[in-house]
């Protein structure tokens, strides 16, 4: 029996969890966000207590338990591998770094966190923190991080524009700047180590926790910013990434067939109106809607203004 595409609905991180968040997820994608400091819409998530759900309210973990290999694919082993988010950075995020698999498993009993960003929209002049300036040593970074504001002068920065793609391997010093709306595909992990949070305090004057020693354990100072260059694979279709943990394509103003692949699932996020058709069914997706495409699923005819399609690299 073939499985149909499954519309998924997000869990949210908001309020004190994302003091940098805003309201653009509602304004741009009509998300039912819980407040005006909503930073993350977890579109496809198996993170405990932050599961995305079906229209009927069934969580992703329950779907995985029910359908198993038919859903995820024959080549996908272990915990669910990917996490997909839409992020609204009204203010800048903390300067942070994520661990790789070995450190995360040993210290946190979790997967590591390599991720990638597609810039969906941004204010003019918006920027990312990406890496550190050439020649900065770990000892300099430690001293500056302990001092606080001094770390700002050590950071690498890059201006962004809509459509840009950035790959952020574990170990990269990074931060999303203010005024940026982002699509993020990453390993399924919530491990983040903060170097610096711009002196931000909550309503009671408390600062968020930093994790400087762990951050220094995992940082790779050799990583430099390199914007990803898309590769055209067909009319209206680009391969944005093909990395160790995930691959990503962008389809724009195109109509084409997407064949099911029993090796792995796929995740389609509509950025413009998108029509999916298969034997015996169809669905229309508004911008901002994410659909899980099972490995043992139907071949799809897709007509889209714009969509991103992510999948585990197998």
Active-site annotation, residues: 194
The neighbour count for residue 253, using CB atoms within 10 Å, is: 11
Q: Which residues pair with 300 in a beta bridge?
A: 258
Q: In Å, what is the CA distance from 100 to each residue of 19, 85, 197, 310?
A: 26, 20, 22, 21
Cα–Cα distance measured from residue 147 to residue 87, given in angstroms and rounded to the nearest whole number: 29
Q: How far is CA 104 from CA 185, 202, 245, 276, in A?
A: 18, 29, 15, 38
- Of the candidates 103, 291, 88, 94, the one whose C-alpha atom is nearest the C-alpha of residue 173 is 94
C-alpha distance from residue 90 to each of 21, 40, 168, 212 (Å): 5, 11, 21, 25
In a 3-state reduction of DSSP, which class is residue 126? coil
Pair 219, 142: CB distance under 8 Å: no
Residues 235/281, Cβ–Cβ less than 8 Å: no
3-state secondary structure of 139: helix
Close Cβ partners of 151 (under 8 Å, ≥ 6 residues apart): 95, 141, 144, 145, 195, 196
Instruction: Identify the bridge partners of residue 213 per DSSP, sorted by sequence position.
Output: none
How many beta carbons lie within 10 A of that of residue 244, not counting itself? Answer: 11
């Amino acid at each position: 029996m073939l499985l149909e595409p499954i519309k998924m609905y997000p869990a949210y991180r908001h309020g004190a969890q994302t003091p940098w968040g805003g309201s653009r997820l509602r304004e741009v994608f009509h998300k039912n966000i819980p407040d005006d400091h909503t930073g993350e819409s977890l579109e496809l998530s198996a993170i405990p207590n932050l599961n995305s759900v079906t229209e009927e309210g069934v969580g992703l973990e329950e779907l995985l338990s029910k359908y198993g290999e038919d859903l995820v694919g024959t080549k996908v082993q272990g915990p669910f591998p990917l996490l997909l988010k839409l992020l609204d950075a009204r203010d800048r995020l903390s300067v942070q770094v994520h661990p790789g698999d070995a450190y995360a498993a040993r210290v946190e009993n979790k997967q590591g966190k390599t991720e990638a960003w597609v810039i969906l929209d941004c204010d003019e002049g918006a920027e990312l923190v990406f890496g550190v300036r050439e020649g900065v040593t770990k000892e300099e970074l430690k001293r500056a991080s302990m001092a606080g504001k001094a770390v700002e002068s050590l950071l690498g920065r890059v201006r962004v524009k809509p459509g840009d793609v950035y790959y952020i391997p574990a170990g990269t010093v990074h931060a999303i700047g203010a005024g940026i709306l982002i699509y993020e595909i990453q390993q399924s992990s919530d491990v983040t180590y903060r170097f610096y949070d711009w002196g931000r305090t909550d309503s009671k004057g408390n600062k968020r926790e930093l994790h400087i020693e762990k951050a220094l354990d995992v940082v790779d100072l050799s990583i430099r910013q390199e914007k990803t260059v898309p590769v055209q694979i067909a009319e209206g279709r680009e391969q944005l990434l093909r990395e160790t943990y995930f691959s990503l394509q962008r389809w724009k103003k195109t109509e084409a067939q997407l064949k099911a692949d029993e090796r792995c699932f796929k995740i389609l996020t509509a950025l413009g109106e998108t029509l999916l058709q298969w034997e015996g069914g169809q669905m229309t997706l508004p911008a901002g809607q994410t659909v899980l495409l099972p490995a043992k699923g139907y071949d799809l005819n897709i007509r889209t203004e714009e969509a991103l399609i992510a999948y585990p690299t197998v």
